[in-house]
Amino acid sequence: MSNASYRWVIVAAGGLLGCMAIGAMFSLPVFLQPIARDTGWSVTGVSGAMTIGFIAMASASMLWGNLSDRFGARPVVLTGSVLLTASLALASRATSLAEFQLVFGLLVGAATAAIFAPMMACVTGWFDTQRSLAVSLVSAGMGMAPMTMSPLAAWLVSIHGWRTSMLIIAAVAAAVMIPAALLVRRPPAAEMGNTPALQDAEPQSSMSIGQAIRSPQFIILLLTNFFCCATHSGPIFHTVSYAVSCGIPLIAAVTIYSLEGLAGLGGRVVFGVLGDRLGAKRVLVGGLLLQAFGALAYVFVRELAGFYAVAALFGFIYAGVMPLYAVLARENFPMRMMGTIIGGTAMAASLGMATGPLAGGLIYDTFASYEWLYIGAWAIGIGAFLIALTFRPFPQAQPVSGFQTS
């Protein structure tokens, strides 16, 4: 199979791996109330496992990204796939809150980090044209998680209880992720990376990793991604519980989460196409502003129809903006350090995602209401928009003549 064809296999493998990894981690909102009822652990405590997971993702992202720069994406994502499935199985057997937080939080979070940055870096290396669309399609695979893993988890937990359900999800993840990881190959840009012509055409080809991570462009990408994810992490994690607190049955509330994911699929594709046509930065800035007001809209809904409308809008927007960070990274930094750079942005994203679950749990435990969570998310979203406005790309390098990209 030619490189022009196989690059779409990489996109499919990346989407599948991301769907399973993100889906397994984000099954926790569905398990939240069943775990709390079965064990007597507090909602804040169980939510804390998610916060620990995002901190673990943040801590491991640059490490996994650097390893993928050195050894390629395949061994990294294969290791992450095995670690993820083993961690889910161990979490299902946890007998204390501390043990659950350690295993589900630390190990599942670190394993998930082994999928995201290496695969995004790999995909950006396979595409010079249609890059925004390709990255968005991989991200769309991750967005399938609310429509696949969350309903599966809700159905399983209604029949088997949370422990058996989590063990079944671990088995499904192993059966899907390990074969998909074996399909991953190094991009042609990485294989040709030592040729002078390609090096000269790379963005900032003479830049060292130290110079890259100290550059204003990298720092602004990190800050924007942090505040962007801090904006939507609380609404993503707590909207199911918020809907239940408004009197909506759990099985119906989970469909809100699924609809958000479905809308996100469209958002990723639309934002990807717009990013290729209008430029990734321009689309990102506009999307961040819309995301802030999408979060605020949850304050005004109480009925299932209102939740559906806001979830569709919010999911479309926040899912659409997320792949654009990888595109901006590839446009401004050389391929040889792409895993490290995208790992850095993933680190910032994970730290941002870590704020929502814990903050939402504390807000609910304190006020017995989620309204202030969504108001705070709006304010943080405006901050992300303002930071993104300050991003100034490096001058663009010229593409290599004759390099196959279509």
**3-state SS, one letter per residue, for 361-396:** HHHHHHHCCCHHHHHHHHHHHHHHHHHHCCCCCCCC
pLDDT tens-digit series, residues 15-48: 999 899 988 888 888 888 888 888 888 887 888 8
Burial class (CB within 10 angstroms; exposed 0-12, middle 13-18, buried 19+) of 6: middle
Tokens of 401: 């003549």
CA atoms within 13 A on the CB side of 75: 7
Q: Classify 203 in phi/psi space as left (phi over 0), alpha (psi -120 to 50) or beta.
A: beta
Residues 215 and 340: beta-carbon distance below 8 Å: no
Residues 6+ apart with CB under 8 A from 257: 29, 30, 146, 150, 236, 239, 240, 311
Lowest-confidence pick of 76-80, 144-148, 266-270, 305-309:
144-148
Confidence of residue 3 (pLDDT cuts 50, 70, 90): low
Query: Residue 86: its pLDDT value, please?
Result: 94
Query: Residue 191: its pLDDT value, please?
Result: 59
Query: Following CA atoms 374, 380, 383, 385 in sequence, which dihedral angle do they give, to the nearest 10 degrees?
Result: -50
Confidence of residue 87 (pLDDT cuts 50, 70, 90): very high
Average pLDDT, the chain: 84
pLDDT at 102 over 50: yes
pLDDT at 307 over 90: yes
Query: Residue 168: its pLDDT value, please?
Result: 93
Distance CA 292, CA 49 (A): 26
Q: What is the DSSP-derived secondary structure letter of residue 213?
A: H
Distance CA 261, CA 255 (A): 10
Lowest-confidence pick of 59-73, 134-148, 181-195:
181-195
Element (H, E) at 66: helix 43-71
Residues 167 and 40: beta-carbon distance below 8 Å: no
- φ, ψ of residue 246 in degrees (nearest 5): -90, 5
Q: Which amino acid is at 118?
A: P
Q: Which amino acid is at 10?
A: I
Query: Following CA atoms 255, 261, 265, 270 in sequence, which dihedral angle do they give, to the nearest 10 degrees?
Result: 110
Q: Mean per-residue pLDDT for 225-253?
A: 88
All structural domains of the chain with their residue ranges: 3-184+204-388
Distance CA 255, CA 258 (A): 5
Q: Which amino acid is at 142?
A: M
Distance CA 215, CA 383 (A): 21
**SS3 state of residue 113:** helix
3-state percent helix, strand, coil for the chain, nearest multiple of 5: 85, 0, 15
pLDDT tens-digit series, residues 41-77: 888 788 888 878 878 888 888 889 889 888 888 999 9
Distance CA 351, CA 337 (A): 21
Q: Span 3-184+204-388: which CATH code?
A: 1.20.1250.20
Q: Which amino acid is at 250?
A: L
Element (H, E) at 81: helix 73-91
Look at the alpha carbons of 58, 60, 66, 68 in this order and tell me if their dihedral is positive or negative.
negative
**Measured distance between the N- and C-terminal CA atoms of the chain, rounded to whole angstroms:** 14
The full 3-state SS of 236-294, as one line of letters, equals HHHHHHHHHHCCCCHHHHHHHHHHHHHHHHHHHHHHHHHHHHHCHHHHHHHHHHHHHHH
Query: Residue 316: its pLDDT value, please?
Result: 93
Q: Per-residue b/e over 174-207, b at no fewer than 16 CB within 10 Å?
A: bebbeebbebbbbbbbbeebeeeebbebbbbeeb
Which range in 92-101, 118-127, 145-154, 332-341 is most confidently predicted, on average pLDDT? 92-101
pLDDT at 197 over 60: no
Q: Per-residue b/e over 350-386, b at no fewer than 16 CB within 10 Å?
A: bbbbbbbbbbbbebbeeeeebeebbebbbebbbbbbe
